Structure 1
Amino acid sequence: MNETLQTIAKRKSCRSYQDKPLDFDTLTIILNAAIQAPSAMNRQLCEAFAITDKMLIDKLANAITYVFNERGETKPEDYHCAYHAPVLVIVSGPEYDSKRIEDGSCMLENIFLAATSLQIGSCWINQLRDTQNVEEVRAVLSEIGIPANHQVIGCAALGYAALDEPSKEKNASRIHII
């Protein structure tokens, strides 16, 4: 199996991170991989916002938790949507772009594969898709610099894994060759 296929097979979700920041060069390599993703008509409208400020990540996580609590979706006391990762990358695109979900998802997949190839743990974070338009969350997104007309596609928590867990078995019965 070649190196690319090995990286794809090794990719897994990481939900426990070391309290160690990613260095600037490593983060830049991962973000540059994101912008290599295909986009509809090569318009390249989606953007990646990498947050390395722990207080800002926590502020966003607290706003999301507040929304869940207000909706009656109680989370455990130690809940943190980004699993206390040292980096949270938010991928968003303009709401007028009908292909933002597809384009942003490709960016996120490149982030996960690049992180895996560099032995960096990663996890897809979905909570912003459902909470981004609530005032408390949108205020933090604005503070981060995400344009008001952008919708969040998804997020990637990034950092050095605290535990080395094996990849989960994949269900090959989902493959159909016709």
Structure 2
Amino acid sequence: MNQVIDVINNRVSLRRYQDKEISKEHLEIILDSAIKAPTAGNQCLYSIIMIKDQKTKDVLSKSCDNQPFIAKAPLILIFAADQQKWFDYYKFKGVKEFSERENLSFEAPQESDLILACEDALIAAQNAVIAAESLGVGSCYIGDILENYEFHKELLNLDDWVFPVTMLCLGYYEEDAKRIHRKRFDKKFIVFEEKYRKLSDDELSEMFSENEKSFVENNKYNADNFAQAFYARKTGAEFSKEMARSVRVALKKWDGRKL
């Protein structure tokens, strides 16, 4: 193994942090590493919003599915898909007028532009995560920033073509921190050669066999098995419905309308 692989394999999602700020030197390394990430056409279709203010962290700990540990993170980084900067630049440089002159259609960002920008933002976020881990700074991804779109849009002063894709809580590991590595699915269920294929029922049973051991028969969801309980707790839960609603609202702005 080399050091990079060791860092990747040793990382866990960290939700308890030392009560100290991330050093300026480490913060610069983390941010520089994020921006060095691969990006579509070298466009850097994202923005990183740093949150250090305690009041804002307190708000986010409630708006992101009521998770108190968020408020205790020394630093929060929100990675947002961002096409706004490019389209503001286009406007500044007369691209609309140019398009009319050259018989081109000047259109607003559309769904594909959002997905491309999301890819950029998430790749940058993961670069930040690995760089941070190598410095002893732990992290935890928060997908719940996708929820409550209108509220977060106002809280973070987001323009229409800036969408918060993910949030990272960052802080130093406690000296006695215990790293609990959760087992992932075997790669034979993840990696396919040349083409995708559906898994058989037997393969699905094998894939989820470890998860199914955690199923409790007398559960609050009245579920008969792990799949039913997990759906009730995650996929079909209210926060998932709110997340879907928020994304639909945001997508209305990414419609490719003629500008």
Instruction: Give your verdict on TM over 0.5.
Output: yes
Which secondary structure state, in structure 1, belongs to the residue aligned with residue 184 of structure 2? Answer: coil
State the shift of 1:6 in Å.
Answer: 1.0
User: What is the aligned partner in structure 2 of residue 72 from structure 1?
Assistant: none
User: What is the aligned partner in structure 2 of residue 170 from structure 1?
Assistant: 184
5 Å matches for 1:91-170? Answer: 91-94=79-82, 96=109, 97-98=113-114, 99-131=116-148, 133-134=149-150, 136-142=151-157, 146-162=158-174, 163-170=177-184
Report the AA paired with residue 135 of structure 2. L
Q: Distance in 1 between matches of 2:23 and 2:52?
A: 10
Which secondary structure state, in structure 2, belongs to the residue aligned with residue 82 of structure 1? Answer: helix
- Kindly name which structure, 1 or 2, has the bigger radius of gyration based on alpha carbons: 2
Deviations 1:30-80 (A, max 9, x none): 111110111111211211112122222213334x16xx6xxxxxx5xxx32
* Unpaired segments ≥5 residues, structure 2: 84-108, 194-259
Question: 8 Å contact 1:14–1:121 — kept in the other structure?
Answer: yes
Which secondary structure state, in structure 2, belongs to the residue aligned with residue 5 of structure 1? Answer: helix
Which secondary structure state, in structure 1, belongs to the residue aligned with residue 130 of structure 2? Answer: helix
Report the AA paired with residue 185 of structure 2. N
Q: Distance in 2 between matches of 1:151 and 1:47?
A: 9
Q: Which moved more, 1:93-102 or 1:118-127?
A: 93-102
Which secondary structure state, in structure 1, belongs to the residue aligned with residue 79 of structure 2? Answer: strand
State the shift of 1:81 in Å.
Answer: 6.4
Between the two proteins, the alignment pairs up a number of residues equal to 161
User: What is the aligned partner in structure 1 of residue 220 from structure 2?
Assistant: none
Using the size of structure 2 for normalisation, the TM-score is: 0.57
Which secondary structure state, in structure 1, belongs to the residue aligned with residue 169 of structure 2? Answer: strand
Q: Distance in 2 between matches of 1:161 and 1:30?
A: 16
Q: Distance in 1 between matches of 2:159 and 2:32?
A: 21
State the shift of 1:121 in Å.
Answer: 0.9
Question: 8 Å contact 2:16–2:69 — kept in the other structure?
Answer: no
Alpha-carbon spacing, 1:4–1:122, altered in 2? closer, same or farther (3 Å)? same
1:10 aligns with 2:10: yes
Question: 8 Å contact 1:128–1:152 — kept in the other structure?
Answer: yes
Which secondary structure state, in structure 2, belongs to the residue aligned with residue 123 of structure 1? Answer: strand
5 Å matches for 1:50-65? Answer: 50-62=50-62, 64=63
Deviations 1:83-110 (A, max 9, x none): 5211000001225333011111101111
Q: Distance in 2 between matches of 1:155 and 1:116?
A: 16
Q: Distance in 1 between matches of 2:136 and 2:122?
A: 21
Using the size of structure 1 for normalisation, the TM-score is: 0.80
Q: Distance in 2 between matches of 1:103 and 1:81?
A: 27
Greater relative CO (CA pairs within 8 A, separation 6+): 1
Question: 8 Å contact 2:60–2:71 — kept in the other structure?
Answer: no
Q: Which moved more, 1:114-123 or 1:15-24?
A: 15-24
Task: Return the match for 2:77 from 71, 74, 89.
Answer: 89
Which secondary structure state, in structure 1, belongs to the residue aligned with residue 70 of structure 2? Answer: coil
Q: Distance in 2 between matches of 1:85 and 1:123?
A: 10
